[in-house]
């Protein structure tokens, strides 16, 4: 078979046709190219051989229209071949061209794939001219049933937009492990962890990218394919804003707005000013809600001023540094080689600053005059952000107590009930934020100061305890026994007079909250507690996944992959993710009959559940 030098790349023949014709549309074409001509770097790609499909998100593929709704969750040889043909790719990068890396003619695809430019703070200059997708390409987009999805792949090779290239002023060979961010590849463990966590987040109603497929390679690397209705980040816009390039900024923002409109998510507006103001309002609400939910659910997302690690709808992207904590570990900081991350409590102010930057950006688009960011520090949109954040925090805590969403809204609309909710949130936060007397410590990927009380356990157990105790407060030592985590020592567990008063106050506020719920629901306090007792067993599940837990689970799945077939691995992943849906009202979009796992699969699944319990209080 003939060879062709990478410096003289040309179009190659396409692969054979198959029964899965929808995937043929995913071939590098994307309308963002025409909308923002300087917003990307183009790369020819080649087939990367020896790949194996480790995972396909059948539910997502059906939702997107890539597979028919009645397709069995079976990874056939034909389907695997199509997935490998579509996603088993590696770019022919600048290093390959300079060094004339041999590439087989048959492996070169006919179309180029783009790596997009966006702002990243670890790059010199901080203008977004040399930063963006450092190890990813956009496979394209796919439209079906009136909805368009973006699709990209991580681990497809080292692009010129990585921090390593910007800092060292040279190009890197794909797979070069000598420099951080430079190798351009992704780990299989990283991909499996992201697939698990992103699907858990999605099923729990949290906006996120989702893993569509994982292609694994013998060396432990992978191409991790993700999809969302839009994969644009605020950082895509902020690069144009920082550069003062209003033409590129308008093109990028108009492209994003048109995607939301054509997908049926936003109304169409003829006035440019009205269109941009609606855009700002929508961004404000989504980021305020997301920041509140992240804080309430102990989700560390590393929001920062650049808008890099988040999507424009405040959805999660890039799970490499994302964690879901078991307790409110609000002093944890991720160590990213040359800097530490924000903490979970700092995410609110970072989200607020992102919205402030959007206000600056929209004003620039409307007036044509770029004002300083500080002039938007008192913009009315920030007051709206604060109001939405506080309301969402209150709703989230009410939901965790077991109230259904309709009752949560009624509680917030009633003055007396809203005051009771606010009083309860204050005392709840006191215990939630309590830290170990041992002080800060180093962990594997950063630093932390351990939280010590598990308030989800308190919310789960209290209704049943009160029902057995004639709806009366319990002794402080009983309360402490429920609340104390494995991070506590004798000093943290000691029932001082001060802690006793706080425990008494907590129970008084909680029972007052239950009374307000009962009053609005026109039932007795006992009946209200009975309703809450059922729901909190799901909402505050004892074995809830954490960041450390999902890594341990992914490691087991990789080990079991040798013993179980691909279909069994898919079944295990689906069963495991279903375990972690913490919403009693959740209904799968495509329900299907389920059978009880047996044999080796049942044994492996039990091991995964034990791991979740083991790591449930951690990072």
- Tell me, yes or no, whether 458 and 579 share the same domain: no
Pick from 96-100, 126-130, 372-376: least confident:
126-130
Is 395 among the domain residues?
Answer: no
State residue 157 phi and psi, 5-degree precision: 130, 160
pTM greater than the 0.95 cutoff:
no
* pLDDT for position 320: 83
Q: How far is CA 357 from CA 78, 374, 378, in A?
A: 48, 9, 12
Is 403 among the domain residues?
Answer: no
| Element at 347 (helix H, strand E) | helix 347-367
β-pair partners for 104: 3
State residue 140 phi and psi, 5-degree precision: 140, -155
- Tell me, yes or no, whether 528 and 448 share the same domain: yes
Is 396 among the domain residues?
Answer: no
- Tell me, yes or no, whether 48 and 77 share the same domain: yes
Number of domains in the chain: 4
User: What's the mean pLDDT in 480-486?
Assistant: 95
Q: How far is CA 297 from CA 248, 400, 408, 510, 582, in A?
A: 37, 9, 17, 19, 11
> Over 70: is that where the pLDDT of 11 sits?
no
Q: What is the largest CA-CA distance in the chain?
A: 83
* pLDDT for position 10: 37
- Tell me, yes or no, whether 112 and 155 share the same domain: yes
Is 235 among the domain residues?
Answer: no
Gyration radius from the chain CA atoms: 25
Q: Give 310-346 pLDDT, tens digit per residue.
A: 999 999 998 988 999 999 999 999 887 677 888 999 9
| Structural domain ending residue among the three candidates 474, 507, 539 | 539
Q: Give 215-249 pLDDT, tens digit per residue.
A: 999 999 999 999 999 999 999 999 999 999 999 99
- Tell me, yes or no, whether 527 and 563 share the same domain: no
Give the orientation angle of helix 599-614 with respect to helix 547-560, to 10 degrees. 160
Give the orientation angle of helix 380-400 with respect to helix 405-413, to 10 degrees. 130
Greater confidence (604 vs 116) lies with 116
- Tell me, yes or no, whether 261 and 385 share the same domain: yes
How far is it, in rounded angstroms, from Cα 248 to Cα 243? Answer: 10
Of 114, 117, 151, 284, the residue nearest 229 (C-alpha): 151
Is 399 among the domain residues?
Answer: no
- Tell me, yes or no, whether 41 and 188 share the same domain: yes
Is 407 among the domain residues?
Answer: no
- Tell me, yes or no, whether 372 and 433 share the same domain: no
* pLDDT for position 591: 61
* pLDDT for position 93: 95
User: What's the mean pLDDT in 80-101?
Assistant: 96
Contacts of 169 (CB under 8 A, 6+ apart): none
> Over 90: is that where the pLDDT of 617 sits?
yes
**At 596, is the pLDDT very low, low, confident or very high (cuts 50, 70, 90)?**
low
How far is it, in rounded angstroms, from Cα 544 to Cα 617? Answer: 9
What percentage of the chain exceeds 70 in pLDDT? 95
Residues in the chain: 619
The gap from C-alpha 603 to its chain's centroid, in whole angstroms, comes to 29
- Tell me, yes or no, whether 524 and 608 share the same domain: no
| Structural domain ending residue among the three candidates 200, 228, 256 | 228
| The residue to which tokens 């805590």 are assigned | 397
* Contact indicator for 340, 333 with CB cutoff of 8 Å: yes
Q: Three-state SS for 149?
A: strand
User: What's the mean pLDDT in 350-364?
Assistant: 97
- Tell me, yes or no, whether 495 and 566 share the same domain: no
**At 156, is the pLDDT very low, low, confident or very high (cuts 50, 70, 90)?**
very high
The gap from C-alpha 123 to its chain's centroid, in whole angstroms, comes to 23
* pLDDT for position 579: 92
How far is it, in rounded angstroms, from Cα 397 to Cα 406? Answer: 14
Pick from 151-155, 197-201, 309-313, 331-335: least confident:
331-335
- Tell me, yes or no, whether 250 and 305 share the same domain: yes
How far is it, in rounded angstroms, from Cα 131 to Cα 120? Answer: 6
Burial environment of residue 538 by CB neighbours within 10 A (0 to 12, 13 to 18, 19 or more): middle
**At 16, is the pLDDT very low, low, confident or very high (cuts 50, 70, 90)?**
very low
How far is it, in rounded angstroms, from Cα 79 to Cα 382? Answer: 49
Of 552, 569, 551, the residue nearest 560 (C-alpha): 569
How far is it, in rounded angstroms, from Cα 211 to Cα 141? Answer: 15
Average pLDDT, the chain: 92
- Tell me, yes or no, whether 360 and 424 share the same domain: no
Is 261 among the domain residues?
Answer: yes
Host domain of residue 607 = 547-586+595-614
State residue 559 phi and psi, 5-degree precision: -70, -40
State residue 357 phi and psi, 5-degree precision: -65, -35
Is 402 among the domain residues?
Answer: no
Q: Give 24-76 pLDDT, tens digit per residue.
A: 999 999 999 999 999 999 999 999 999 999 999 999 999 999 999 999 999 99
How far is it, in rounded angstroms, from Cα 110 to Cα 9? Answer: 10
How far is it, in rounded angstroms, from Cα 28 to Cα 44? Answer: 10
* pLDDT for position 590: 63
Q: Three-state SS for 473?
A: coil
> Over 80: is that where the pLDDT of 260 sits?
yes
Q: How far is CA 419 from CA 176, 426, 472, 516, 600, in A?
A: 58, 11, 22, 10, 53
| Structural domain ending residue among the three candidates 326, 356, 390 | 390
């Amino acid at each position: 078979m003939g060879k062709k030098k990478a410096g003289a790349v040309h179009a190659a023949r396409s692969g054979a046709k198959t029964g899965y014709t929808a995937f043929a549309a995913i071939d590098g074409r994307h309308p963002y190219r025409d909308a923002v001509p300087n917003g990307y770097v183009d790369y020819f790609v080649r087939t990367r051989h020896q790949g194996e499909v480790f995972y396909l998100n059948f539910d997502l593929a059906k939702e997107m229209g890539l597979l028919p709704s009645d397709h069995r969750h079976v990874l056939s040889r034909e389907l695997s071949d199509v997935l490998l043909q579509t996603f088993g790719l590696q770019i022919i990068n600048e290093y390959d061209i300079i060094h004339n890396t041999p590439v087989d003619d048959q492996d070169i695809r006919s179309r180029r794939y783009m790596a997009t430019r966006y702002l990243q703070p670890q790059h010199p200059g901080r203008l977004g001219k040399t930063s963006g997708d450092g190890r990813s390409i956009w496979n394209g987009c796919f439209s079906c049933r009136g909805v368009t999805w973006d699709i990209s792949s991580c681990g497809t090779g080292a692009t010129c937009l990585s921090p390593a290239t910007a800092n060292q002023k040279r190009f890197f060979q794909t797979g070069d492990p000598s420099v951080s961010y430079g190798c351009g590849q992704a780990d299989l463990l990283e991909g499996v962890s992201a697939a698990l966590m992103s699907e858990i987040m999605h099923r729990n109603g949290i906006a996120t990218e989702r893993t569509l497929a994982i292609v694994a390679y013998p060396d432990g690397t992978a191409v991790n394919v993700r999809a969302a209705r839009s994969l644009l980040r605020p950082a895509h816009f902020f690069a144009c804003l920082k550069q003062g390039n209003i033409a590129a900024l308008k093109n990028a923002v108009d492209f994003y707005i048109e995607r939301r409109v054509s997908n049926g998510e936003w109304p169409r507006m003829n006035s440019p000013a009205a269109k941009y103001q609606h855009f700002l309002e929508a961004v404000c609400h989504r980021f305020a809600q997301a920041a509140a939910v992240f804080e309430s659910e102990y989700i560390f997302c590393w929001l920062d001023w650049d808008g890099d690690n988040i999507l424009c709808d405040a959805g999660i992207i890039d799970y490499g540094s994302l964690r879901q904590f078991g307790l409110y570990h609000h002093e944890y900081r991720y160590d990213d080689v040359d800097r530490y991350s924000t903490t979970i409590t700092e995410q609110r102010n970072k989200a607020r600053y992102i919205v402030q930057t959007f206000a600056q950006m929209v004003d620039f688009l409307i007036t044509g005059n770029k004002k300083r960011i500080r002039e938007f520090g008192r913009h009315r949109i920030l007051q709206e952000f604060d109001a939405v954040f506080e309301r969402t925090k209150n709703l989230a805590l009410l939901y965790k107590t077991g109230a259904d969403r309709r009752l949560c809204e009624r509680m917030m609309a009633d003055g007396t009930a809203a005051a009771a909710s606010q009083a309860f949130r204050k005392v709840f936060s006191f215990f939630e934020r309590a830290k170990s007397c041992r002080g800060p410590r180093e962990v594997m990927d950063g630093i932390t100061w351990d939280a010590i009380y598990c308030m989800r356990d308190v919310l789960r157990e209290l209704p049943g305890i009160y029902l057995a105790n004639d709806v009366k407060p319990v002794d402080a030592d009983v309360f402490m026994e429920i609340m104390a985590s494995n991070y506590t020592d004798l000093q943290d567990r000691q029932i001082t007079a001060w802690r006793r008063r706080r425990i008494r106050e907590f129970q008084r506020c909680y029972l007052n909250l239950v009374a307000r719920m009962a009053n609005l629901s026109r039932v007795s306090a006992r009946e209200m507690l009975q309703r809450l007792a059922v729901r909190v067993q799901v909402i505050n599940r004892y074995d809830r996944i954490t960041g450390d837990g999902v890594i341990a689970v992914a490691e087991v799945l990789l080990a079991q992959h040798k013993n179980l077939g691909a279909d069994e691995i898919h079944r295990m992943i689906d069963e495991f993710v279903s375990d972690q849906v913490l919403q009693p009202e959740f209904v799968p979009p495509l329900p299907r009959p389920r059978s009880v796992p047996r044999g080796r699969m049942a044994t492996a699944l039990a091991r995964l559940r034990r791991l979740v319990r083991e790591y449930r209080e951690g990072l």
